[in-house]
């Protein structure tokens, strides 16, 4: 069964009947809103519209288990139980969220059948099943959800100890850190999906480096973390610089992995605009083939088919608003080079010896410009050192973390 990011709603007084409980008709509408929320995000809705079909409800079974009142916060979880040629069966649950308890208040099963504009049964487009299944496969056992400002972010948090915030690159998600984080016992490892990525919400707008950085700080607050070691890869590094600029007191130390301080030049900005236009026109799948040869070292491309497949799946699970938003945020990011000489926290610059996007010389120059920074060059790694060489990368990071004052 495939599980999706939950949807949270507050019960309004006008959802309730004269006895003051959530009315069953209004409850059914909330179930529908939560289903719509999942279907309307990302490739699912675009493909349905492209094929001129829409899923109509054929059968609904809801079992109400407890009373719900105005002001209650409900969390709706949805899972795709099975699908046939024209139908999809979803299981949904609604839980009342207390400060430390959750109560199952209703559960239901909903059979949806795809129909065309004439109301005839039609095949569920393959991309829809694929998009729903891919999004669900991005969940891990440790995933939690936190609403910060206008978005809900998905976060994997494991272990206890000093906090390390891992920020992923583009067009990836938090799971890129999984293997490296697994080696760093003794640390509280926090791996969020940035807004628009992975299982986090992907609003239509609001993507800037400042928004990403503010989201991260709001998330640290939710997790009661005052200061964290901030470890960002590539675009995650751009976010780390912004965090340092906007919230320096939150940064205990920095790990700048496969990243650069300089902004895009005019050719780079033009390329971002072209890619944004293509994402709006064709969706995100083309990025997998487009970027793969530059993301991995040629050795990894040949010898690591599982990694190539994992990356392909991760990239194709992206949603156009989040991907286009990240491209715009990178295009407009400020120059962080003037910041380097004033960095006063311990810093590790991590580079891939075969990185084509951030050549080793760029990483070396950045390390030289940061007072006291260490440089670690990961052999046999391209732009994604933590995924291509997790053991070596984890060892460099562990040595740096364990030497922190």
Q: Could you list the residues that contact ligand MLT (CB under 6 A)?
A: 169-170, 234-235, 330, 357, 383
- Closest CB to ligand MLT among residues 39, 211: 211
Minimum distance from CB of 236 to ligand MLT (Å)? 7
- Closest CB to ligand MLT among residues 7, 385: 385
Minimum distance from CB of 186 to ligand MLT (Å)? 28
Minimum distance from CB of 169 to ligand MLT (Å)? 3
Number of C-beta neighbours around residue 274 at 10 A = 10
Number of C-beta neighbours around residue 343 at 10 A = 21
Q: How many residues are given for the chain? A: 405
Pairing mode of beta strands 347-352, 251-257: parallel
- Closest CB to ligand MLT among residues 47, 389: 389
Q: Going by C-beta distance under 8 Å and a sequence separation of 6 or more, which residues neighbour residue 33?
A: 7, 9
N-terminal to C-terminal alpha carbon distance within the chain: 46
Minimum distance from CB of 114 to ligand MLT (Å)? 36
Minimum distance from CB of 182 to ligand MLT (Å)? 21
**Contacts for 294-298 with beta carbons within 8 Å, 24 or more apart?**
294/356, 294/357, 294/382, 294/383, 295/357, 295/382, 295/383, 295/384, 296/382, 296/383, 296/384, 296/388, 297/352, 297/353, 297/354, 297/355, 297/380, 297/381, 297/382, 297/388, 298/354, 298/382
Distance separating alpha carbons of residues 403 and 405, to the nearest angstrom:
6
- Closest CB to ligand MLT among residues 357, 365: 357
Distance separating alpha carbons of residues 364 and 4, to the nearest angstrom:
42
- Closest CB to ligand MLT among residues 17, 262: 262
Minimum distance from CB of 90 to ligand MLT (Å)? 34
Angle at 326 between CA 322 and CA 329, to 5 degrees: 135
Minimum distance from CB of 259 to ligand MLT (Å)? 8
> What would the two tokens of residue 383 be?
């732009």
> What would the two tokens of residue 374 be?
């260490």
- Closest CB to ligand MLT among residues 30, 327: 327
> What would the two tokens of residue 313 be?
């799946």
- Closest CB to ligand MLT among residues 225, 385: 385
- Closest CB to ligand MLT among residues 42, 169: 169
Minimum distance from CB of 260 to ligand MLT (Å)? 8
């Amino acid at each position: 069964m495939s599980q999706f990011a939950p949807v949270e709603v507050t019960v309004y007084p006008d959802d309730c009947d004269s006895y003051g409980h959530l009315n069953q008709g209004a409850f059914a509408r909330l179930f529908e809103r939560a289903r719509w929320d999942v279907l309307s995000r990302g490739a699912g809705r675009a493909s349905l519209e492209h094929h001129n079909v829409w899923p109509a409800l054929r059968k609904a079974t809801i079992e109400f288990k407890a009373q719900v009142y105005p002001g209650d916060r409900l969390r709706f979880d949805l899972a795709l139980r099975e699908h046939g040629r024209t139908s999809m069966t979803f299981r949904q649950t609604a839980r009342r969220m207390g400060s430390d308890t959750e109560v199952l208040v209703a559960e239901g099963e909903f059979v949806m059948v795809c129909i065309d504009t004439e109301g005839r049964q039609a095949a569920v487009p393959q991309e829809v099943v694929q998009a729903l299944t891919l999004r669900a496969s991005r969940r891990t056992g440790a995933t939690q959800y936190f609403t910060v400002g206008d978005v809900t972010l998905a976060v994997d948090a494991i272990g206890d100890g000093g906090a390390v915030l891992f920020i992923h690159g583009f067009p990836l998600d938090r799971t890129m850190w999984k293997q490296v984080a697994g080696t760093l016992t003794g640390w509280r490892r926090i791996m969020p999906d940035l807004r628009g990525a992975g299982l986090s919400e992907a609003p239509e707008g609001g993507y800037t480096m400042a928004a990403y950085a503010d989201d991260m700080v709001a998330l640290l607050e939710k997790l009661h973390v005052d200061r964290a070691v901030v470890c960002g890869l590539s675009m995650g590094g751009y976010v780390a610089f912004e965090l340092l600029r906007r919230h320096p007191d939150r940064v205990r130390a920095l790990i700048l992995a496969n990243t650069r301080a300089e902004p895009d030049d005019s050719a780079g900005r033009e390329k971002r605009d072209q890619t944004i236009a293509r994402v709006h026109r064709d969706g995100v799948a083309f990025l997998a083939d487009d970027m793969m040869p530059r993301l991995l070292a040629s050795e990894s491309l040949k010898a690591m088919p599982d990694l190539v497949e994992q990356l392909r799946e991760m990239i194709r699970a992206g949603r156009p608003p989040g991907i286009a938003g990240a491209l715009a945020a990178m295009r407009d990011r400020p120059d962080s080079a003037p910041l380097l000489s004033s960095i006063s926290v311990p810093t590790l610059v991590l580079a891939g010896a075969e990185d084509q996007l951030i050549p080793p010389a760029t990483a070396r120059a950045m390390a030289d410009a940061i007072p006291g920074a260490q440089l670690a060059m990961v052999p046999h790694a391209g732009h994604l050192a933590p995924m291509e060489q997790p053991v070596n990368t984890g060892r460099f990071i562990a040595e740096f973390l364990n030497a922190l004052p």
